[in-house]
Structure 1
Amino acid sequence: MDSTFFGRPQLDSWVGETARFIRDFDWRKTPLGPIGDWPPVLRSVVQVMLPNALPMALLWGDEGTLVYNEAYAKFSGVRHPGILGMAIEKAWPEAADFNRNVIDSGMRGESLTYRDTRFVLAREHDPVETWLDLHYSPVASDEGVPVGVLAVVVETTERVLLERNRSAAEAAFRGTNERLQLALNSGAVRGTFVWEITQNRVKGDERFARTFLFSLQEVETGLPIEAALEIIHPDDRGRVTSLIAATLRDGAPYRAEYRIRTPDEGWIWILASGRCEYDEAGAPQRFPGVIVDINDRKIAEESLKELTRGLEDKISEAVAARTAVEAQLRQSLKMEALGAMTGGVAHDFNNTLQAISGNLQLMQYLPPTDPRVPERVQAALDAVQRGATLASQLLSFARRQPLSPVVINPQRLFAELRELLQHAVGASVVIGAALPEQAWNFCVDRNQLENALLNLAINARDAISGDGRLTLTCSNESLDHAACEGNDLRPGEYVRLSVSDTGTGMPPDVLERAFEPFFTTKPEGHGTGLGLSMVFGFVKQSGGHIHVSSTVDVGTTVEIYFPRSYDDETSSAEAGSIPTHTGSATVLVVDDDVAVLSSTVAILEAMHYTVLKAASGDAAMSVLESGIGVDVILTDVVMPGKVKCADLAEWAFAQPQPVPVIYASGYTRDIISRDGVLRPNVTLLNKPYRAEQLAKEIASVLKRD
């Protein structure tokens, strides 16, 4: 064996680094074995391959172990020298199947040749399309047995792409030429022109001359561009000039639609297209273009626009008429609903007034010592309370009920209400509850919420009519835009309270009217039809949403959504013992209703208060400014005169020792509340009130003071 084959004498004659890589590579880890033990045929092939200018690689053995020359190393890019001594299938995994066929064919003694074969190879990191001419020849041992494959790789990517681009350009040229010929043959082309920019001469063919009303001699010699612009309609001339300037400046294609004068002093539409040509310094030199007749198209477009405008006018008229009809229908439905509501209110209030009137008239005929007098008084008071409840329900439905919101914890709410609801529905209805481990807090008026849930429970009891189940559910809900669409809610986090029953359910026509005031399916005298209306108004006033679903013979579910509150639960104030009345305080009573003022003063005097009275805010301010000591101000909300109840409150709060103020009103609107929520430091006593309520409220504010 010639030990100097891969020694320094031979390597010195080879140019490039690949020979050094081969010499220094540890071939013992490959199927080729130590470099000193290579067979003569392997040495001979490598010696011939290394100095060759063509990219060549030897794929040795069944694995196709790679040995290559300098040109192949450059072809391999970033893969070199990592692929030296590697199996060809691992070196080029994206062409593994192709190379396996090459090795199998070569080891059978077959030669292969491929022309312009496409591969996607990552030679410089990113995979790119590559085209190659490939020639594979088997390498035989001294015994004539194939032991490897010699590959010659010639890259043809640049030539393939050039041929493709040339073919595409030729196809585009043929297409353009065909379109031009079609246009010329159709008569649409009105001429071609060339503007010699440096000489400012516009030249054209015979058709251009006829189109622009020039003689053939003029367009052959050339005219200034200003002469051509004079033929353009005055309204279009400025726009055309701007487009020409933009083409000269930016090199953008020129395309302009405009009108030109005709021999009979009329106007026709044409389309001018062109492009500017520049010299080596980038200065504009020539501006060739073509003129196309588009007059018929523009006339058709104008006709279509006129037709469209006519249709739009008719559609607008139809929409306006439909809107007017819809407005009339809404007004009719509104008046119908108002009539139903008025009738319901009148019916219930007349019944209430009749109960009060009947009891009072009866007491006129009874002596004071008659044992029936206290009973009749209590009956009249009960009737007053029914009227007050009805008014409260109406205000809730109208979202005019002043609210005192607090932060509520659902677990505590359900625990505290369970017994009350069980009493309301009776022992035959089983109440179940389901809450998450960490239910979110929410902020609403506690009393209104309890009334709403009680109303729903009573409705469920009536629907069950016997044994059944009522289920209270609470869940934390994160609503997105899709969930809030059409529900008058903003996306965000909500607490969902659900009340479900196993009652008779509601058919669709009844479900549709569920929130309608005074609508009820209960027998006469068993309900006002305001329960769900009140719940609806309270929920909406609290910024929430309510939804009712029902199936006949299955049951009904009412879902209420309230915005989540991140505040801590409002702690319940400890109920202290409040005396019902005291004789050591002076109360200023302000009310413009003589009957209300008289009765209120009489009640307070009977409770041993010192009472001052005023029939207006102006009179009340005179009393306060006189220096008379006042401990509490009890004032109506809506009164005549310049001084309003808020002015009295401002005076009271501005004193060195602030004076407690109690507002008394049957309908507050927004005078003492913002968005239906009571303002700070305001105590409200709803009319009508009982004497013990009045005494308790006065005693309460005096105690706080």
Structure 2
Amino acid sequence: MAVIAAAFALRSLSAYALRDYAPFLLQIPAVLLVALVGGLRVGLFGLVLAVGANATFVPGETWTGANATGAIVSLTSFAINGLACCLIAALLRASLVNLDQTRASLAETAREKETTLATLESLLSHAPLGFAFFDRDRRFVQVNETLARMGGISRETHLGRTVAELLPEFADRTAALIDRVFETGEVVPDVEIQGMTPAKPGVERHWLVSFYPVRDGAGVTRFVGTTVVEISEIKKAEQRLAVSERRYRLLAEALPKMVWTADPQGEGDYYNHRWEEYTGASVEDGSFGEWFGYVHPDEKGELTLAWQASIASGEPFNRECRFRAADGSYRWFLCRAVPVRDEDGRVDRWYGSCTDIAEIVAAREALARSHEELERLVAQRTTELAQANERLRMEMKERFATEAQLRQAQKMEAVGQLTGGIAHDFNNLLTVIVGNLEAAERRIGPENLQARTFLDHCRQGAMRAATLTQRLLAFSRRQPLDPKPTDVNRLLVGMSQMLRSALGERVTLETVLSGGLWPTEIDRNQLENAVLNLAVNARDAMPDGGKLTIETANAYLDDAYAEAHDVVAGQYVVICVSDTGTGMPPEVMARVFEPFYSTKGPRDGTGLGLSQVYGFVKQSGGHVKIYSEVGEGTTVKLYLPRLERPVDEDERAERQEPAEARKARILVVEDDPQARQLGVGALRAAGHEVSEAENGAAALALVEALDPAQRPEVLFTDIRLGAGLDGPALAARLRAVVPQIRVLFTTGYARNAVLRQGRLDRGVNLLTKPFTQAELVRKVTSILEQAIERKGAALLVEDEPFVAMVAQQILEDHGFEVTVASHGKAALAHAQAAQEMPEREAFRLAVVDLGLPDMRGDEVVRELRTLVPGLCVVIATGYGTEDLEGEFGGVEGVALVGKPYDGATLRGALRGMGFNIPD
């Protein structure tokens, strides 16, 4: 409005001065300026206003005169020119606006590009993936920090250099892939590469690498980009998963149940071989179907509904049903399934098992059938409760009697400890006396009858003293026993003539032997002495003659009897010795097993016969019970533990004494000088080459100083050697130096390593004191005839319990004493302890699994062979033996076996290392 007003004011002022000039000349620029600034609408408004104002300036007479046409033409021309100026101004204005918008858009685009470049740069530098770009010469043009950290090489070092220069181990593989992308322009995704880098020297790592082209605007491949993701942990997880899967498979196949797994929808995807054994259908060829397809038709409907409900709810499944067997019969099974959920709580898999409960169901049905019978018995039981009260009072009396028996047993134990304590020194003295008497007899001619008679009386007295000592040891349960599998019936038949001679003509002997009598493991000589003692006591109780009956039977002692009489419940072989003699009153029965207690005169006995029987049976794990009434006679029952395993004929038969054995090198170790000299003299007189030592340390020093070819073949040692090493520890140390050495122990009182609760370990040789020189020579001769197998202690290093169980059984079946370790460090600790502790036998064999939880098996083998020189090793691996051939293949004393292995494979490996292993 201001512009238009100014234009009219200028026209008014110049109207008369510019009378010959176009009247609208000054208004056209004004209209153009208004349209340019305000826009087309504002310009048109100004034009209309200007046309109207100009019309008012035209004088009125002009419109009515001859000049009216000129005025109209003039105003029309002004309007047309003004309209043209408005349109031009509007177009010019629109161009300026578009130009401003274009400039703003370009500025925004530039800012976005800068942001995008900054983002890409940040992503390249800080992304968890490794990025790199190569030119056509395979040189690095860009590398991010992540890739630099992976390789342990800085970004600056990468630029301008090739993979061959920085990481030669990967050069060939990456060069081929880079060239392939440049040539074809294709993307090469997910290539697995493994190797070692300076970042982690000596560590095998895995990466997943992708290669892709980077093109310019013309579509030409300028660079090759690569992304690198480290998957080392994924690979380890896959290996652990494979091991876990293998363990699960072994466990599932070893279980006696039918095991199966299913996906979250309940469709079975694994069945162990028990299913095939039971149903007869093959899982491999697809003829098996689903597990519930073998359910009895009567239960299948409800079971299927219950299974679908568990799948829908995710709750455990538990159902009893009948499954069809291969022969068409049905058996009851308890079918269970439990869900395993993922991190989000969703069911990931179902694990199921079907357990045979046919016997349980049968028992349950039988129990249900007996329910009515039980109800009937309730009334009867109620009546019996009154009688039970009376029995309870009687049991209280019996309890008081049992407590009295316990006090008596404690008293007898104290006496036994006192009497057994002197046995060792006493037997040493008797050994010296008997040995010197034998030497004196050999040096006195046959013409000196009086002196030989005196010596014979002395020897008989010494042997009676030895018998007395043995009886004391028998009562105190400290005599060394040599138990062997024994047929008691056969033993009693063999004693019949000796018993009849001991009983005399006035006593009738009757034996009643039970058919199908169980075997027992007992010291046969001591059992014969016990039966003979009972027979002699019975004879003395029948001064006017009578009848002695010896019976055998199988018996079972229940828990109630065992608790009341201090004996282990179980199966026993019973020997009953009954007489028709005078019997015993209760006060005599209470003391009958005490040592030195006798109802006979002081010259008629020592009172050690029954006490010896009592101590021997108790030491053998048995039980003695005596029944007697005055004037009615006495019965003594000997309960001997049943031997569960069958008795071989070789065990039944007694070995014949060898007539003569080869001469041998013998080491005698005895801390008593006189006893040692007697043993040395007797063995040298028999032709043996004898060396001697007074203690374990001296014996070890003597053997180690000898040439290996001159080391002793037999060790004859007392079990108790005073301070330092005892006999068993010395034997263990010597076996490490001389593996084939034979050992003969001697003792007058033994309660240590070679005896377990007074019983000899299987295969241990023992000569009890006192012994004669002839007995010593015969025992050594017998030992030299024994065969020695190359066996010993074995170390089994296996973390899989089922494999360890099988391997341990195989090794023990072939004579090895097996120590099991599930970790490498535990195995090394066992080996170290065996080397440092002289009483433990060093390991001769180790069976080591390659995959252990804490360290590799080959590392364990190296350290074991360093700790134990000459150790034989079997290395077991489930990943193939090729990787181990380079280090261990052909090494003496080392065998490689693949897993899984069976008994034949393990035995073959042992035989290859020199062990005497039968097929």
TM range (shorter): 0.3 to 0.5
Flag the structure with higher strand content.
Answer: 1
Highest RCO, 1 vs 2 (Cα 8 Å, sep ≥ 6): 1
Flag the structure with higher helix content.
Answer: 2
For the pair shown, which has the larger CA radius of gyration, 1 or 2? 2
TM-score, with structure 2 as normaliser: 0.37
